[in-house]
Chains A and B, each alone.
Chain A
């Protein structure tokens, strides 16, 4: 038996013992996600236990080095772990911007002290992070951001405003892009800072969205003092880190298309609409749309897998994450459009127990942001045209 097969056996046995049955049911809505952090209210004891156990084993971040809270697994082992979790239907133990975005950036650009301070707390779900990128006048054109940080001896003083800060009102810390050189060209005067959201001068205001929920905030900084050692990388060198992190964000949002496959759409529709005597969905047009969707979704899963296989061979371009982000976001929007069609008038309920307070309708509306956040679909297509296709003037 190979080492990988051994690992698979051990992983399966451990998961079977340690993953509570409640954590093996498909995620029904965003409310089922575990985000961790100082202020998080666990939905159940099972949810807390699952996060803690996985965190202790380093399996919330399986490929991170052990000294930073990971399990030090290779890519092949991590893939086996994902496969075994999928086979048992295990939920993600911890959803986290720290894991998806900040962690990879710190591993690449952080100082040893920053890695030791922040990464284990991310891995164990102790600190919840938010991302301070977009500003009212810096959306797709992110590099024109104006939030300023001035160095006064051993600390920066930060002033300005961020917008679309996901879950800023529930986050413990923020990783934030700030302008530290006002004379330089816009890409070269940006720095990457980390600070506590409880620092004096930080305030947040949730933004009510079309889903009736407020996952995003406006975040204000009024003379916030940030210790100088919380600068990541070089002063005025933040854009490189920002871009590196964005590719991870894109992979994450692109991955929505993959992670949402807990329940095949065809089965969802069959339950919602019923089948005719030939065992087909009663609406031929919708059936065809759903089949085309499932085929595209299968292709997307294969492409994610292939991208990983190519990376292991040292092939592929980092800009390819834009292709995954673009397609994954559009795919997820399509999925929810089709779910709404299959659910019919039942899917329109906004409140009440039967619809879990309009869970489907609200998630459907939330998915519309997939092709806006982390760089719009149009920005991704620009990046593909320029970096992957080499089209002139792009």
Chain B
């Protein structure tokens, strides 16, 4: 497949860009942050996302979605990264939608997918248990109890978990040769007895939650994709999410690069534009190359996941790792080249730095993915 966006994908990018520039520029994030908004995003805006088909991008048409692919989800995420618009796109429309779709015709999918597509709900994935991403180091247990299960454990870094209408929780129902064996996914009502949700307001003015499950009873219908089948679903869902976050990081990095380049052409010191200094020119030129490389690899990863998720793993890890290091470099150079202004809250560059740091940690940082890449390649 050609490593360029096709015509429909370009149109999607243009419409997402125009919509977000008008309705959710960086100032929108700033407003939510400064008003200490308890939700952290605007539900009315989220419903307008639905009208544009963004919320149901990955949901099949017969479930109320628009049936697009991961490349298209990446295109939307890249534009979200450009304006830092807070929304439950990643948690709900990418991770939860893919998990619910992948599980087949289960009851949870029938219940939640049309509502996600309509922009009526938030569904969060509760996977991580430690501060560093280790998706199969699962201590949360699901014990058989009658015709249902009882869940016990603690989940952290549950993105949008503070306002979720449903949680998709990974829990151990058994053991096997690989850590991914014996894992089951459950759809849990956050209001059920024994569930406590603590909002964690993060550095980037986005929200996540710590979720405690103490003797939480769920029925058999809460199982997503079959008992013990969660590992395979999770691998795929996480890779979809990683590729999409990589695209989002790329959008943020690209925006920071553009803003910094513009600044170098207007800021004057020593009677000249600071962009005339070779010390800065070479760093910008090298960063430009890094961005082009990341762009090519991220697109390849998005395409690879659409073609066959099982054989896309190494490519996805490569893309997430490179997007993390590239975006990190972009924001560091961005702040440095903006000088003192880069350190002020008034300038937007710092907001990008904060958001990029969070997206680096989400679903595995560059070290996690370089390690996974090496293992998948037999060394």
Hey, which bits of chain A sit against chain B, CB under 8 A?
A: 264, 266-267, 269-270, 275, 279-281, 287-288, 290-292, 294-296, 298-300, 302-303, 305-306, 309-310, 312-313, 315, 323, 326-327, 378, 380-382, 384-385, 388-394
Additional A-B contacts beyond A267-B378, A302-B299, A303-B297 (6; CB < 8 A): A266-B379, A288-B374, A299-B296, A300-B293, A323-B289, A385-B281
The residue of chain B having its C-beta at the shortest distance from the C-beta of A304 within the complex is: B296
Set of chain B residues within 8 Å of A323, measured between Cβ atoms: 288-289, 292
Contact: B292 with A303, CB < 8 Å?
yes
> Contact partner of B296 among A275, A305, A389, CB < 8 A?
A305
Contact: A392 with B265, CB < 8 Å?
yes
Min CB gap B3→A, angstroms: 4
> Contact partner of A302 among B288, B300, B321, CB < 8 A?
B300
Contact: B370 with A292, CB < 8 Å?
yes
Contact: A275 with B294, CB < 8 Å?
no
> Contact partner of A291 among B2, B261, B374, CB < 8 A?
B374
Contact: A388 with B288, CB < 8 Å?
yes
Contact: A381 with B286, CB < 8 Å?
yes
Q: A296-B293, A305-B3, A384-B285 are known contacts. Are A392 and B275 too (CB-CB below 8 A)?
A: yes
Q: Which of B108-160 contact A (CB under 8 A)?
A: none
Q: In whole angstroms, how far apart are the Cα atoms of A296 and B278 in the complex?
A: 25
Contact: B374 with A280, CB < 8 Å?
yes
Contact: A391 with B264, CB < 8 Å?
yes
Set of chain A residues within 8 Å of B325, measured between Cβ atoms: 292
Contact: A384 with B288, CB < 8 Å?
yes
Q: How many A-B residue pairs have CB under 8 A?
A: 137
Contact: B293 with A394, CB < 8 Å?
no
Contact: B285 with A295, CB < 8 Å?
no
Q: Which of B252-301 contact A (CB under 8 A)?
A: 261, 264-265, 272-273, 275-276, 278, 281-282, 284-286, 288-289, 292-297, 299-300
Contact: A389 with B284, CB < 8 Å?
yes
The residue of chain A having its C-beta at the shortest distance from the C-beta of B281 within the complex is: A385
> Contact partner of B3 among A281, A306, A380, CB < 8 A?
A306
Contact: A281 with B379, CB < 8 Å?
yes
Contact: B4 with A310, CB < 8 Å?
yes
The 4 closest A-B pairs by CB, nearest first: A393-B276, A306-B3, A302-B296, A385-B281
Contact: A266 with B377, CB < 8 Å?
yes
Contact: B371 with A288, CB < 8 Å?
yes
Set of chain A residues within 8 Å of B276, measured between Cβ atoms: 391-394
> Contact partner of B293 among A288, A303, A310, A390, CB < 8 A?
A303
Q: In whole angstroms, how far apart are the Cα atoms of A344 and B297 in the complex?
A: 31
Contact: A279 with B273, CB < 8 Å?
no
Contact: A309 with B288, CB < 8 Å?
no
Q: A292-B370, A309-B3, A391-B276 are known contacts. Are A270 and B293 too (CB-CB below 8 A)?
A: no
Contact: B379 with A296, CB < 8 Å?
no
Answer whether residue B175 sits at the interface, using C-beta atoms and an 8 A cutoff. no
The residue of chain B having its C-beta at the shortest distance from the C-beta of A298 within the complex is: B318
Interchain residue pairs with CB less than 8 A apart (24): A266-B374, A266-B377, A267-B379, A269-B379, A270-B379, A288-B371, A290-B379, A291-B321, A298-B318, A299-B294, A299-B297, A302-B300, A305-B296, A310-B4, A323-B289, A323-B292, A326-B286, A378-B282, A381-B281, A381-B282, A381-B285, A385-B281, A385-B284, A389-B284
